[in-house]
Amino acid sequence: MCLGCWDVDKQEEKLKNNIEVCTGEEMLVMSLEELKGKLVSEWMETKKTHFRVFKQAVPEIKSNTHSWQVSALNQQTKIHVNFI
């Protein structure tokens, strides 16, 4: 199972740097809550708040966008996800 191919930006970065990318056939499928946990962790490390995620990675998602407020370590922000 591929743990990173759900992230569109990371896949594009790999392609740009001529790093082999997976086909998506073994894409990690997760719930919206699991995705939120992953993106909050990334925000805490990188301060990135806008993400692009392959829609097939989160089957329960019906819309093309999702956002939510996050509060952690005395910081607040809104995380935005575009589903591709």
User: Could you give the CA distance from residue 28 to residue 8 in angstroms, rounded to a whole number?
Assistant: 13
User: Can you tell me the mean pLDDT for 6-28?
Assistant: 76
pLDDT > 60? residue 1? no
Pairing mode, if any, of strands 75-83 and 50-53?
parallel
Beta strands 75-83; 65-72: pairing state: antiparallel
Structure tokens, 76 = 């607040």
| Closest listed residue to residue 82, CA positions, set 71, 61, 44 | 61
Compute the distance between CA of residue 81 and CA of residue 84 in angstroms, rounded to an integer. 9
pTM higher than the cut 0.85 = no
Q: Where are the domains of the chain?
A: 30-83
Whether the per-residue pLDDT at 3 is higher than 70: the answer is no
| pLDDT attached to residue 4 | 66
* pLDDT (tens digit per residue) in 23-80: 666 677 899 999 999 999 999 999 999 999 999 899 999 999 999 999 887 889 999 9
